[in-house]
């Protein structure tokens, strides 16, 4: 039985669950907690909350919307020009669609404002008529670690990382056992298919790569949401700087490269730690990120940590966290090359 313990904030403020209170305090203090069966995870066991699929086979068998969501490419009717369409499932036969001139983001799109709408299944058929469904793969998917690299995870539990390993995958809520300074990091991640979690909310496959437990590259299913609020045709439930590929609450990516849920994706991160002379910081951290083969951040200077990491003092070396938020986000083929 799952029991919510309550911490009262005041007589005039609603109560919050004890576990949430502990997590917030730990995050502020920079303490990593083990993944516990509480909150959303416990709700899933009781059959509550939006369902999250982690298997393509199960999603195809159980949700008729899953085969429709994804990316499409082909010639526009009449003009003969190339168009790309992204279809994001919203649950119960509802979809958010974008139509891009020239192709798909990162693959031909001319970066002009797309057409967008919320449609039903018949609408998806209309928007994708004459187009071919695409299954894009990152060009660095399956990249082999170079000589001298530290393999943080390759399918089995090991001394480099602590966290849940199941079905040959590392699950969100893990952390490296060592601390690192300057490095290049390759990460492959898979977002769950969670259509009834609101698109653009923080409950749609939320995780994050927390470099030195201070600088977060956001991991979340924001497939189909662009980084211009005037180009989004659904209510935004999060700051755009909280969506996939963002430096959390600091900077949006230069391109929207999130692929559909249950597609394996990649981050290739080049990180330069802040530099110190004694206790004085003399250079800020810098980060470049390539998402699914497209550079989305180019040597960006970070004056401090991002999100909750901004409250923690910067350090020359620190651990890497694969942040847990109660969502079944999986990681594989994770390796690091120190610079």
- Report domain extents, the chain: 6-45, 63-134, 150-338
- Indicate whether 11 pLDDT > 60: no
Q: What is the pLDDT of residues 301-318, one digit of tens each?
A: 999 999 989 999 999 999
User: What is the residue-averaged pLDDT of the chain?
Assistant: 88
The larger pLDDT score, comparing residue 6 to residue 236, is at 236
Q: What is the pLDDT of residues 224-236, one digit of tens each?
A: 999 999 999 999 9
Give the rounded distance of the alpha carbon of 150 from its chain centre.
23
- Indicate whether 339 pLDDT > 90: yes
Percent of the chain beyond pLDDT 70? 86
Mean local confidence (pLDDT), 318-330: 96
Write the CB contacts of 339 (distance below 8 Å, at least 6 apart in sequence). Answer: 182, 183, 184, 272
Asked if residues 288 and 297 have their Cβ atoms less than 8 Å apart, the reply is yes
d(CA 192, CA 73): 24
- Indicate whether 53 pLDDT > 90: yes
Q: Which range (44-48, 58-62, 84-88, 127-131) has the least confidence?
A: 44-48
HEC string of the chain? Answer: CCCCCEECCECCECCEEHHHHHHHHHHHHCCCCCCCCCHHHHHHHCCCCCCCECCHHHHHHHCCCCCCCEEEEEECCCCCCEEEEEEEEEECCEEEEEEEECCECCEECCCCCCEEEEECHHHHHHHCCCCEEECCCCCCCCCCCCCCCEEEECCCCECCEECCEECCEEECCEEECCCECCEEEEEEEECCECCCCCCCCCCCCCEEEEECCCEEEEECCCCCCCCCHHHCCCCCCCCHHHCCCCECCCECCCCCCCCCCCCEEEEEEEEECCEEECCEEEECEEEEEEECCEEEEEEEEECCCCHHHHHCCCCCCECEEECCCCCCCEEEEEEEEEC
Which CATH number, 2.60.120.560, 3.30.470.20, 3.40.190.90, 3.40.630.30, labels domain 150-338?
Answer: 2.60.120.560
Among residues 274, 279, 257, which one has the least CA distance to residue 310? 274
Question: What was the pLDDT predicted at 49?
Answer: 77
Asked if residues 170 and 153 have their Cβ atoms less than 8 Å apart, the reply is yes
Asked if residues 322 and 331 have their Cβ atoms less than 8 Å apart, the reply is yes
Banded model confidence at residue 79, pLDDT cuts 50, 70, 90: low
Which tokens is 130 given? 């004459």
Q: What is the pLDDT of residues 17-52, one digit of tens each?
A: 443 444 344 444 444 444 333 333 333 333 467 999
Q: What is the pLDDT of residues 250-299, one digit of tens each?
A: 999 999 999 999 999 999 999 999 999 999 999 999 999 999 999 999 99
Question: What was the pLDDT predicted at 4?
Answer: 35
The pTM score is: 0.85
CB atoms within 10 A of CB 166: 10
């Amino acid at each position: 039985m799952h029991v919510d313990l309550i911490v009262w904030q005041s007589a005039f403020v609603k109560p919050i669950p004890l576990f949430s209170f502990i997590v917030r305090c730990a995050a502020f203090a920079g303490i990593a907690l083990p993944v516990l069966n509480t909150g959303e995870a416990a709700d899933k066991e009781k059959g509550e909350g939006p369902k999250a699929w982690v298997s393509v086979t199960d999603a195809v068998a159980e949700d008729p919307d899953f085969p429709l969501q994804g990316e499409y490419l082909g010639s526009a009717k009449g003009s003969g020009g190339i168009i790309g369409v992204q279809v994001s499932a919203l649950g119960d036969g509802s979809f958010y669609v974008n139509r891009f001139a020239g192709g798909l983001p990162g693959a031909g799109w001319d970066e002009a404002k797309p057409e967008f709408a919320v449609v039903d299944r018949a609408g998806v058929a209309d928007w994708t008529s004459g187009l071919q469904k695409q299954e894009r793969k990152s060009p660095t998917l399956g990249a082999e670690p170079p000589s001298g690299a530290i393999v943080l995870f390759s399918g089995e539990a090991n001394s480099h990382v602590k966290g849940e390993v199941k079905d040959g995958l590392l699950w969100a809520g893990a952390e490296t056992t060592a601390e690192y300074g300057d490095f290049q990091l390759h990460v492959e991640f898979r977002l769950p298919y969670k259509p009834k979690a609101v698109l653009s909310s923080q409950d749609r496959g939320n995780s994050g790569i927390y470099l030195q437990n201070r600088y977060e590259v956001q991991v979340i299913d924001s497939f189909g949401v662009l980084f211009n609020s005037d180009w989004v045709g659904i209510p935004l439930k999060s700051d755009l700087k909280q969506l996939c590929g963002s430096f959390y609450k600091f900077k949006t990516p230069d391109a929207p490269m999130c692929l559909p849920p249950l597609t394996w994706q990649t981050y290739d991160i080049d990180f330069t730690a802040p530099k110190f002379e004694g206790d004085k910081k003399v250079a800020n951290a810098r980060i470049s990120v390539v998402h699914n083969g497209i550079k989305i951040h180019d040597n960006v200077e970070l004056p401090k940590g991002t999100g909750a990491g901004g409250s923690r003092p910067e350090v020359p070396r620190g651990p890497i966290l694969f942040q847990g938020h109660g969502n079944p986000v999986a990681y594989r083929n994770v390796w690091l090359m120190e610079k």
